[in-house]
Amino acid sequence: MSDGQARVHPYIPNSIPAVRAAMLEAVGAASVEDFYADVPASIRLGRRLDLPTPLRSEVELVRHVEGLLDRNRSTREMLSFLGAGCYPHHVPAVCDEVNGRGEFLTAYAGDPYEDHGRFQALFEYESMMAELLEMDVVNVPVYDGFQANATALRMAGRITGRLRALVPATISRDKRSKIVDYVAPDLRVDDVALDPATGLLDLEALRAALADDRAAPGSDVAAVLVENPTYLGAVETQGPEIVRLAHEAGAIAVVSVDPSTLGVLAPPAAWGADIACGDIQPLGMHQQFGGGHAGFIASHDDPRVVMEYPSRLFGIAPTAVEGEYGFGDVAYERTSFAVREEGKEWVGTAAALWGITAGVYLALMGPQGMRELGETMMARTRYAMTRLAAIPGVRVPFADQHHVKEFVVDLAGSGRTVAEVSAALVERGIFFGADVRHELPGLGAPALVCVTEIHTKADIDRLAVELEAVLR
Amino acid sequence: MSASGGHGAGGSTPAAGPGLPVGPKPMPRRFHQARWDEPIVFELSVPGARGVLPPETEPAVADIVGDPAAALPPGIRRETPPALPELSQVHVLRHYDRLSQETLGVDLNIDVGQGTCTMKYSPKVNDQLVRSHRLADLHPLQDPSTIQGILEIMWRLERMLAEISGMDRVSLQTGAGSAAIWANVSMIRAYHAARGDGALRDEVITTIFSHPSNAACAKTAGYRVITLYPDADGYPDLGALRAAVSERTAALLITNPEDTGIFNPRIEEFVRVVHHVGGLASYDQANANGILGITRARDAGFDLCHFNLHKTFSTPHACGGPAAGACGVTDAIAPFLPRPTVETDGTRYWLDDDRPASIGKVRPWYGVAPNLVRAYAWIMSLGADGLRSVAETAVLNNNYLMAKVLEIRGASAPYAAGKRRIEQVRYSWDELARDTGVHTEEIGARVVDFGAHYWMSHHPYVVPEPMTLEPTESYSREDLDEHVAILRTVAAEAYADPDHVHGAPYASTVHRIDQETLDDPERWAVTWRAYRRKYPIAGGAATGPSAGSPAGG
Amino acid sequence: MIDRGEGVRSTAADVTLGLVVNPIAGIGGAVGLHGSDGAETVRLALALGAVPQAEDRAVAALARFGARWPHGRMPPIILAGPAEMGEAAAGRAGLAARVVGTIAAGRTTADDTRRIVATLAAAGVDLVLFAGGDGTARDVAAGCAGTGVAVLGIPAGVKVQSAVFATSAATAGEVAAAFLAVPPDRRRVQDREVVDLDEDAYRRGDVAGRIFGELPVPADERRVQARKEPTPSGEAAAIAAIAADLAGSLAPSARYVLGPGSTMRALAEGLGVPKGLLAVDVIELDAERRCRVVAADARAVVVDALMADDRPMAIIVAPIGGQGFLFGRGNQQIGAGAIARVLSTVGRDGIVVAATPAKLAALGGRPLLVDTGDPAVDLALAGHIRVVTGFRERTVYRTRPAWEGLR
């Protein structure tokens, strides 16, 4: 120890002074200073770090951290209708039980021989997602859905050798920001306007965008991004037509989908998607202030596409023993032979534990559970749309569309902003919907309201009553 | 008591009669990995079984809205439910518990074998803290008045990491180390673009023993990458750097100490050389565990740095994430930080999303919140002296381990020979491989039989037949002795009976995996669905993929 | 469950291994004769008390081969040179061998090696395993020229600079077993250079080496799990990436000298012009970047003459052999004069070096070597040089004169 006085720390077994002395002697070092011989004096800190006084006992630590966390109010204490990419679904107890197990929680990057269970659990995750998506290839999770979207677009760029991506103007501002930062310098991102009547993609604008620069060399469209449901909650019923138009232009159809809706919505592959992607947070992850995200990318088993995944793909393989199987990385040398090798991206630590958890979730839910989940969400969402639309000053602009778990309300008629109304509702114990004025500049005061299977009729009625009271 | 006495494997003879006393346990231990022979979850499916029930729509709701799902247009509505397995709840739990037992977490093993990964103990109390609903069930868009606690923790963590790195601001948004490198590269790109020479500066310099994500992220961002090899003494090559820099240099991305455990003694000069041509210097602090409180990124002149909170700051590795990265920058780079930042007036905390020069979002929301809380709690449990003890102990453990490993026949530590190392060492089994024909991968497969991990090196193998060990502060002297005993045993086997090593693993969940299947588009199967398609059930039994190598059976 | 029922790919019942031992390889080294070429040298070596070692190395390799051969699998048929040219080694390793060819025992020649290898290749062996040095490798290359048969060297000579040798005898046995144990359609080979010195010149102190061909060698790309990093690309992909980068970097209306080797051939292919594997070629781009060959298989005088021009020019080379020679081995057609001219008119940027990361890693930290014959030029090249290692990937690598430290 630098001061020789500090107590032995429970996280540091060899902080016992006698042990340290014996170890130093064993390696012939006078002090730990010997090991830092290569660190020049000019860059030595030369003082103690200026950090808060430590809370060395566990009880003090717990009191302190819990004291800070107690300044939060959770969605268990409040009635929350916030979604917008981070969703309040029920997390089955077994999900938390499994991802809390020390074996999974503290494993890392072992080989299939040490970590067979980790490999199998992630292979099974890929396999269950594959059934949900009706695609044969699914990756080990990337960081989040934003990353999955951005990478899927880059994959399309590498496959086609083209330089443009079309995305709906209604994707979230944050997701757009991530995509633009990430796909540069490979792809230019162009927006396709929404149809103000439906909130869905404007097909004429899409046709124009696809044709737009055909004359200009290097401006062919690599990928068309479709969201289903859209960020604004509507089911993109034009999906099949959008995919057809994309294919006609030689572009790849990338469909971002909320997997929790796939018990009732046809998987994008059924209407022609080439690559599906999205976020698995709805499948068994708590909201965690945005810490529960993980991204998936899926495709058909076409080697041309498989070779462009930057992520890990775990596959099943026989072993030296008859009848036994193990797992390992598929397509180990995933090298792009195309001209644009600069787009290979990287593989790193991402969100594997959430993949395992999503696998647990899907195994618990099964086919019936996923269907019932979708049916319940759709019914309650429609009920909420009906209830809120009846409130004076509230309009549900895209009520004619199909919605699974989110919808837009416009408060413009009330003369109030979303921020004002939200603040008033917090006083009444409710988190109202997300403010989406950036995504829907054409509306006065749009909010995105999320209703899932956790919201009862009574919850929705309470929202309606309180909203009406606030707007009165 | 001494478990490390001179008993080799099988050396403890049974007591003459029945009953106690039994002898001490042999070293290395007689390990066998759990082996449940667990089927794929789809094979456990029983039609009609339910694992969990979602709530049903209330009749009063249905009366009003009907069944909106049924009203979806054809082609958009899912006609057949997804072919997921159907299991009762207990069977799901049992299946995954069994798989977990076939997984070797840090909690179970002396995890010094996964070098560069900083496999340290993740305190359980921190895991308990983040299960609080006041963190787990927070939505990121909640009213600021209801998230003051988490924002204060993020602010405090930022200030602590700023002190530990010497940087002015720290963003906690990225999801892991490589994502943090990406964010730093993106900020470098934005910085030069804002100064008008973004197009000119198209080269990024790194070293071969820096983490490869530095090169990969720079390439992904559109840079040409120049990778430097070590000089004749095994240190990062200053002459090569001087030859590499120019007005085209955007940045130096460098790990220090490098993955060899060698600290670059001329690191200040490296930064100066890069600054001299107008480039930025970014410090990959993935290997910071041995230098906490000793030296800081800012002290060597760096403009940017990043920490891996799942390495140095103890958040669990979680089978490969969720993790967390922290990007530290000087005031000159701060305008480009990912948005939002956490700000405070000393009493209240808020998120500042109005940052026009920002590179934007690198991840949804504000970071992997539970890991930020864990890292905060970990630093709070240690304080300044504790962090220094972490560093010094990690370095002591490493040099102790190195002395013992180098006593093993066939092992060496190339580059900067004879020098001390910081927190890890990249060893070489080159001599053993030449003597015995046993390669590092085979040693790794045999080490598994004693309940430990093993890792070679990133590619290319600049150190021949590499093995990288990183004994963090979490292991005792006895733990280190045990790991050495495993390596010594395997090395001795390589000399005495190389074929035995070649046949390993013997005590794992599974045996040698046929890798060829995984490289063949005709035979690979990333999902059970693909497997069933490629190997259709015939006569009741699946026809499996052939091993390719007829070595089996 | 996975089993190996009907899906089993039928593997040829017979796997055939060819074996050739150059019994006198390496005999000169032990007694300081720098190689063993020439009957006189061999007699001299034996007189000086040298003990032949090639057979021992072959036995070690075969023992390892036998140990690594899949258990229960029918052993390969071994076709071996007679007596001390293979048969004896196989016998000592406990392996039955069929003998191919005839020799005069005790007086074997390079021609014997060539004839036996030709016979083995004609017999359709799956792999030719040979024990010897660079000279033997030359003979093997001559013997199997144009057949495409895979070859692997057991290092047993004084000079083993060629990249066709395994790192040790034991490793050779292993690589051979691993290669033959998989079905033919999944065996992977890499073209590797055969480099040799003229031993008479070498013994006089004049180092002069050249590239004598490339042989398909079993790819020893040990497959390991990707873990937490990007997957490494194979050697072929790495070469393709380098070629793509170089092709994109060539300037219009410029002239380029291309050294020998597969990387340079890949570059030429990418530019749409033919290129001999062993040749030094001069190419030229027009204003539209169309490429044409100005001089194929150019001799030094031709290269010199073509470089005495005012247009932009550069020399593009790949390091040769296991020692990493930039100049002076295998590409002597690019003389000190041409290099000096490029250095004086274009500077260091006019010398473009290309090497895969694996090739650089194999140098084990040693610098790249130059030996142009002109010490001044060698010194001008010493220090650090840019190396293209992939698409938009570079390194700055150390170089030094090959003679430094020798004199």
Q: Is C310 on the interface with B (CB under 8 A)?
A: no
pLDDT band for position A6 (cuts 50, 70, 90): low
Query: What would the mean pLDDT of B270-287 be, rounded to a whole number?
Result: 98
The predicted-structure confidence for C65-98, as pLDDT tens digits, reads as follows 988 887 777 889 999 999 999 999 999 999 889 9
**Do A119 and A249 reside in the same domain of the chain?**
yes
Q: How far apart are CA B349 and CA C217, in angstroms?
A: 65
Answer yes or no: is A6 within a domain: no
pLDDT for the residue C206: 45
State yes or no: pLDDT of C204 exceeds 60: no
Surface of C (364-393) touching B: CB under 8 A: 364-365, 367, 383-386, 389, 392-393
User: Any idea which of A253-257, A434-438, C35-39 has the lowest mean pLDDT?
Assistant: C35-39
pTM of the model: 0.89
Strands (E), B33-192: 169-171
Centre a 10 Å sphere on the Cβ of residue A25 and count the other Cβ atoms it contains: 10
**Do A54 and A105 reside in the same domain of the chain?**
no
Decide the pairing of beta strands A275-279 and A164-168.
Answer: unpaired
pLDDT for the residue B545: 46
Surface of A (203-232) touching B: CB under 8 A: none
Answer yes or no: is A253 within a domain: yes
Answer yes or no: is A70 within a domain: no
Q: What sign does the CA torsion over A339, A340, A342, A345 have?
A: negative
Q: How far apart are CA B264 and CA B258, in angstroms?
A: 8
CATH (domain of A387): 3.90.1150.10
State yes or no: pLDDT of B543 exceeds 90: no
Chosen from C225, C384, C397, C399 to mutate, greatest number of chain B CBs within 10 A: C384
User: Any idea which of B63-72, B284-293, B516-525 has the lowest mean pLDDT?
Assistant: B516-525
Top pLDDT among C249 and C12 is at C249
CATH architecture of B133-380: 3-Layer(aba) Sandwich (3.40)
Q: How many helices (H) and strands (E) does chain B have?
A: 16, 13
pLDDT for the residue A157: 93
Question: Given an 8 Å threshold on Cβ–Cβ distance, is A341 in contact with C392?
Answer: yes
Question: Given an 8 Å threshold on Cβ–Cβ distance, is C225 in contact with A329?
Answer: yes
Range of the domain at A378: 79-86+368-471
The number of folded domains in chain A is 3
With contact defined as 3+ CB pairs under 8 Å, the chains touching C are A, B
Average pLDDT of chain C is 82
Residue B43's φ and ψ, nearest 5 degrees, are -75, -10
pLDDT for the residue C229: 45
Using a pLDDT cut of 70, give the percent of chain A over it: 95
pLDDT band for position C10 (cuts 50, 70, 90): very low
What residues have CB less than 8 Å from A204, skipping those under 6 apart? none
Query: What would the mean pLDDT of A381-401 be, rounded to a whole number?
Result: 97
pLDDT for the residue B199: 93
> Who among B439, B456, B550 is closest to C11 (CB)?
B550
State yes or no: pLDDT of A4 exceeds 70: no
At B19, list the tokens. Answer: 């009953």
Helix/strand/coil (H/E/C) assignment for every residue in chain A: CCCCCCCCCCCCHHHCHHHHHHHHHHCCCCCHHHHHCCCCHHHECCCCCCCCCCCCCHHHHHHHHHHHHCCECCCCCCEECCCCCCCCCCCCHHHHHHHCCHHHHHCCCCCCCCCHHHHHHHHHHHHHHHHHHCCCEECCCECCHHHHHHHHHHHHHHHHCCCEEEEECCCCHHHHHHHHHHHCCCCEEEEECECCCCCCECHHHHHHHHHHCCCCCCCCEEEEEEEECCCCCECCCCHHHHHHHHHHCCCEEEEEECHHHCCCECCHHHHCCCEEEEECCCCCCCCHHHCCCCEEEEECCCHHHHCCCCCCCEEEEEECCCCCEEEEECCCCCCCCCCCHHHCCCCCCCCHHHHHHHHHHHHHHHHHHHHHHHHHHHHHHHHHHHHHHCCCCCECCCCCCCECCEEEEECHHHCCCHHHHHHHHHHCCEECCEECCCCCCCCCCEEEEECCCCCCHHHHHHHHHHHHHHHC
**Do A463 and A352 reside in the same domain of the chain?**
no
Q: Is C237 on the interface with A (CB under 8 A)?
A: yes
The predicted-structure confidence for A246-297, as pLDDT tens digits, reads as follows 999 999 999 999 999 999 999 999 999 999 999 999 999 999 999 999 999 9
Answer yes or no: is A434 within a domain: yes
Answer yes or no: is A143 within a domain: yes
pLDDT for the residue C49: 67
The predicted-structure confidence for A52-73, as pLDDT tens digits, reads as follows 999 999 999 999 999 999 999 9
With contact defined as 3+ CB pairs under 8 Å, the chains touching B are A, C
**Do A398 and A330 reside in the same domain of the chain?**
no
pLDDT for the residue A31: 95
Query: What would the mean pLDDT of A321-331 be, rounded to a whole number?
Result: 91
**Do A307 and A409 reside in the same domain of the chain?**
no
**Do A166 and A300 reside in the same domain of the chain?**
yes
Decide the pairing of beta strands A325-329 and A314-318.
Answer: antiparallel
- Least CA distance to A345: which residue of chain C? C230
- Least CA distance to B220: which residue of chain C? C392
pLDDT for the residue C155: 84
**Do A209 and A304 reside in the same domain of the chain?**
yes
Query: What would the mean pLDDT of C87-113 be, rounded to a whole number?
Result: 90
| Inter-chain Cβ pairs, chain A and chain C, closer than 8 A | 59
The predicted-structure confidence for B484-511, as pLDDT tens digits, reads as follows 999 999 999 999 998 899 889 999 999 9
Q: Is B337 on the interface with A (CB under 8 A)?
A: no
The predicted-structure confidence for C233-252, as pLDDT tens digits, reads as follows 567 778 888 998 899 889 99
Q: Is C3 on the interface with B (CB under 8 A)?
A: yes
pLDDT for the residue A177: 95
State yes or no: pLDDT of A215 exceeds 80: no
**Do A177 and A285 reside in the same domain of the chain?**
yes
**Do A392 and A309 reside in the same domain of the chain?**
no
The predicted-structure confidence for A78-104, as pLDDT tens digits, reads as follows 999 999 999 999 999 999 999 999 999
Using a pLDDT cut of 90, give the percent of chain C over it: 37
Answer yes or no: is A73 within a domain: no
pLDDT band for position B16 (cuts 50, 70, 90): low
Residues of C whose CB is below 8 A from A348: 228
ipTM for the whole complex? 0.96
pLDDT band for position B19 (cuts 50, 70, 90): low
Surface of C (333-392) touching A: CB under 8 A: 390-392
Q: How far apart are CA B285 and CA B526, in angstroms?
A: 34
CATH (domain of A345): 3.40.640.10
Q: How far apart are CA C373 and CA C329, in angstroms?
A: 11
Residue for token digits 């210097």? B281
Top pLDDT among B153 and C224 is at B153
State yes or no: pLDDT of B326 exceeds 80: yes
* Beta carbons of A453 and A380 less than 8 angstroms apart: yes
pLDDT for the residue A338: 39
Chosen from C11, C14, C224 to mutate, greatest number of chain B CBs within 10 A: C224
Q: Is B150 on the interface with A (CB under 8 A)?
A: yes
The predicted-structure confidence for B100-143, as pLDDT tens digits, reads as follows 999 999 999 999 999 999 999 999 999 999 999 999 999 999 99
State yes or no: pLDDT of B551 exceeds 90: no
Q: How far apart are the first and last CA of chain A?
A: 67
**Do A125 and A184 reside in the same domain of the chain?**
yes
State yes or no: pLDDT of C202 exceeds 80: no
**Do A163 and A213 reside in the same domain of the chain?**
yes
**Do A278 and A411 reside in the same domain of the chain?**
no
State yes or no: pLDDT of A27 exceeds 50: yes
Average pLDDT of chain B is 92
pLDDT band for position C222 (cuts 50, 70, 90): low
